[in-house]
Amino acid sequence: MVGGSLETLIAGTTTRTTTWQDAAMTIANTNPVTLDARGECVLWLDTAVIYKFILKNAQGVVQWTQDNISSPSSLSAEIAMQIQSKIKRVVSDIAALRLLDKNKHTQAITNGYSITGDGGGSEYYYDASDTTSADNAGSIIVASDGGRWKLIPSGVQNPRQHGAVGTGDVATSLQKMFTQGRAWEIPSGVYKFSSTLTADYSDPAFPGLTLPSIRHDISGDSAANTILEYTGTNTAITCIGSGLTIAEGVHSFDRLANFTLYPTGRTLLRNGIVLQRKAYTLIENLDVEGFSTGIFMEGCLTSSVKNVHSRNNKFGFVLGDPTNFSRPNSLNFERVTVLNNAEAGVVANLLGASNHFNGLNVERNGRQGNANDGGFLANIVGDNGIASLTMTAGYFEGNGGVADLVLTNVSAAFVTVILTSVTFNRVSSTIHTTNNIRIGNTGGGRIKLIMIGCGFLSAGSYVPSAARPFIQYDAACEVIDIGCTYSETVSMPLQLSASTTLAGRCNAAATVSTQPAGVSATRDGVGIYTVQRGGGFSSTADGYVAVAICNFTGGSRKVERITQAGNSFQVVITDNAGTLADGDFSWTVTRVRA
């Protein structure tokens, strides 16, 4: 046996294996090669046999073969260099990558960006055809010998591969996510940045949806573990689309997901995320807190916000309508929480058509007694469509200010709002709203608010007051109650419209009756009965039709007349001679106001 050494031939590649066999591949491998701590090996050859050298990677793929080896001298320096050039050279970081010899290596792996293990490791290849590209400290690394090392795309990029490592300012590295496009994943950790991260699609030449562009998909590991801390003085993240005359930049297909964003000191003086003139945008699984406005969406449409928490800001969300652009239309909010925002949870300067909030949680927003504060405050219009807003399975509790939900129609158009299974709770004597719901108009258009199965609760230390009704609205608006529940009658609103149909039954003495919740019957005198509802059957006496029939078992009784008022109607019963007489009766109310 004779010995030989291939120094640094496969240095650092401890996952690779070598196999020795005779050239005819008939003799079993009896001489496996073991790598030492430096990734080097010593080869022992039997001079009586011609061997074949096979080098494989960890997946068993052949990287290099050499036939007819009968002695160590057969593995010349030239062959060793050829083998070496086929192997991915492993180095510690980008600084070490810059020192690689382009004549000896064509592929490289870094174990980190600044130091081994910092999460910025990548795979690179030497591009011999490129001698002019500038070093961008990420996807292009220019070595000391002028070689251009290019990052091998892996489908999803990591900002640590571009220098977002350590505890210092990584704004430059994070900005690449918004200017290079592609999909990005931000690993767990805290990332501090001092300047606004901006994506701007407003250029008239911005590519269409079917063309490559800087449209981005940016996602952290989770909102719990990927933390972006803004140390600057303006807006943390701004994404700008185009105006009406530039169709392509509006349609973004952007996504921001799975991270927490907050400013240093949480001083409520800066804006978190600002989206302007954008469609097809998805915001999900975020926690945004400590800003003046957590998330500001101006002129955005056909976009979704899912599982987002905007907490401890001055305003949780602000929805705006820029000049010369579309109304905020077709926005979908799902499982969104606005919590502990100093002045309001959601403020909509203007809402257009078909905006939906499912599972919106609005708690502890606004200041007690402040007429400008509340849970959800929106100006709505009907010029883009009269179905402006729907809200399903919402939850309001512990808010301060004017109301949990304030809706004002600022247009001349008719607007419909539908609330389904929404809960409104006032539970504290020290922090509560004046109303749960307040609707009105300043543009002449009516709001028709249809409530289906909603609940209104006064509980805890809160003391109900007739001066603070559950619902308040002006004469131009209408509230239609379909199966809603109220915990007490002191706060019942005046002139609340009934469901489409209500019905009940009363005995002759008015001592036993079967009535819907909130409806009662009294005997005012012989044959005279009043059926009343705290919230009214309609806002006006002619807004509904009441019908009654006498069920008197002895016969000879009839309903002589029915007289309607806004929140009650009177039933008069006589005998066949026309004399007032008591009798059982059934009644039905049908609302007819348009």
pLDDT of residue 6: 37
Sign of CA dihedral 396, 398, 400, 402: positive
pLDDT of residue 81: 54
Residue type at position 382: G
What letters, b where the CB count within 10 A reaches 16 and e where it falls short, cover 406-421?
bbbbbbebebbbbbbe
pTM, to two decimals? 0.77
Residue type at position 130: D
- 189-492: in CATH 3.40.50: no
pLDDT of residue 77: 52
Least confident of 119-133, 425-439, 494-508: 494-508
What is the chain's percent helix, strand, coil content, to nearest 5? 5, 45, 50
Residues facing residue 289 across a β-bridge:
311
Domain map of the chain by residue range? Answer: 2-86, 189-492, 502-591
User: Across residues 436-460, what is the average pLDDT?
Assistant: 93
What's the whole-number average pLDDT of the chain? 85
What letters, b where the CB count within 10 A reaches 16 and e where it falls short, cover 393-404?
ebbbbbbbbbbb
pLDDT at 359 over 90: yes
Least confident of 66-80, 183-197, 202-216, 266-280: 66-80
State pLDDT tens for residues 411-427: 999 899 999 999 999 99
What six digits make up the tokens of 95?
């600084």
- Quote the CA–CA distance of 574 and 401 in Å, as a whole number: 52
257: helix, coil or strand? strand
Domain 2-86, CATH: 2.60.40
542: helix, coil or strand? helix
User: Across residues 586-593, what is the average pLDDT?
Assistant: 84
pLDDT of residue 584: 93
Between 323 and 382, the higher pLDDT residue: 382
User: Across residues 435-446, what is the average pLDDT?
Assistant: 92
Between 510 and 175, the higher pLDDT residue: 175
pLDDT of residue 502: 83
- Quickly state the pLDDT bin for 52 (edges 50, 70, 90): low
- Quote the CA–CA distance of 475 and 183 in Å, as a whole number: 53
Between 445 and 13, the higher pLDDT residue: 445
The dihedrals phi and psi of 327, each to the nearest 5 degrees, come to -65, 155
pLDDT at 190 over 50: yes
- Quote the CA–CA distance of 582 and 45 in Å, as a whole number: 121
- Contact at 8 Å (CB) between 52 and 65? yes
Residues facing residue 503 across a β-bridge:
588
Query: If residue 230 lies in a helix (H) or strand (E), which one and from where to where?
Result: strand 226-230
- Quote the CA–CA distance of 212 and 326 in Å, as a whole number: 26
Q: What order do you get walking across the sheet with 123-126 strand by strand? A: 89-91, 107-110, 123-126, 148-151, 140-142
- Quote the CA–CA distance of 237 and 197 in Å, as a whole number: 5
pLDDT of residue 89: 82
The dihedrals phi and psi of 572, each to the nearest 5 degrees, come to -115, 125
Residue type at position 440: G
User: Across residues 99-105, what is the average pLDDT?
Assistant: 86
State pLDDT tens for residues 249-304: 888 889 999 999 999 999 898 899 999 999 999 999 999 999 999 999 999 999 99
For the chain, how big is the Rg over CA atoms in Å? 37
pLDDT of residue 60: 57
DSSP secondary structure string for all residues of 152-163: ---SEE-GGGGT
pLDDT of residue 22: 42
Least confident of 254-258, 281-285, 315-319, 551-555: 551-555
User: Across residues 51-63, what is the average pLDDT?
Assistant: 56
pLDDT at 44 over 60: no
User: Across residues 171-181, what is the average pLDDT?
Assistant: 93
Q: What is residue 335's DSSP assignment? A: S
pLDDT at 147 over 90: yes
72: helix, coil or strand? helix
- Quote the CA–CA distance of 78 and 67 in Å, as a whole number: 15
Least confident of 302-311, 361-370, 452-461, 466-475: 466-475
State pLDDT tens for residues 211-256: 888 899 999 999 999 999 999 999 999 999 987 666 688 888 899 9
- Quickly state the pLDDT bin for 1 (edges 50, 70, 90): very low
User: Across residues 528-532, what is the average pLDDT?
Assistant: 94
pLDDT of residue 322: 78
CA 152 to chain centre: 32
- Count of other CB atoms within 10 angstroms of residue 525: 9
User: Across residues 498-503, what is the average pLDDT?
Assistant: 70
